[in-house]
Copies of this chain bind each other. A is one copy, B any other.
Amino acid sequence: MLLTGATGFIGTALIPVLLAKGFEVHAVARKAFSPPPGNIITHSVDLMDLAARRALVKSVAPPYCLHLAWNAIPGRYLTTRENLLWTAATLGLYHDFVTCGGRRFLGVGSCAEYDWSYDGLLKEADTPYRPSTLYGSAKEASHRLLQESALLDGVSFAWAHLFFTYGPGESPGRLVSDIARGCLNGEVVPTSLGTQIRDYMYVKDVANALTCLLDGQVEGTVNVASGIARPVSEVILAVSEAAGRPDLVELGGRESPVEEPQSLVADVNRLRNEVGYEPSYTLIEGVCETVNWWRSQIRND
Contacts and interface: CB of A to CB of B under 8 A. Distances in A.
Interface of A: 48-51, 79, 81-82, 84-85, 87-89, 91-92, 94-95, 98, 134, 137-138, 141, 144-146, 148-149, 152-153
17 contacts: A49-B51, A79-B152, A81-B98, A82-B95, A84-B91, A84-B92, A84-B146, A85-B92, A85-B95, A87-B87, A87-B88, A87-B145, A88-B88, A88-B89, A134-B145, A134-B148, A138-B145
A88 B83 CA distance: 11
A116 to B, nearest CB: 15
B81 A153 contact: yes
A152 B138 CA distance: 14
Contacts of A149: 81, 84, 134
Contacts of A82: 95
**Count of this chain's copies in the oligomeric assembly:** 2
Contacts of A94: 81, 84
B81 A152 contact: yes
Contacts of A98: 81
Interface centre among A48, A87, A137, A145 (most CB of B within 10 A): A145
B145 A144 contact: no
Contact of A152 (B85, B87, B134): B134
Nearest to A46: B50
Contacts of A50: 48-50
Nearest to A146: B84
Contacts of A51: 49
Contacts of A137: 144-145, 148
A91 B95 contact: no
A221 to B, nearest CB: 16
A51 B92 CA distance: 15
A78 to B, nearest CB: 10
Nearest to A149: B81
A89 B95 CA distance: 13
A230 to B, nearest CB: 31
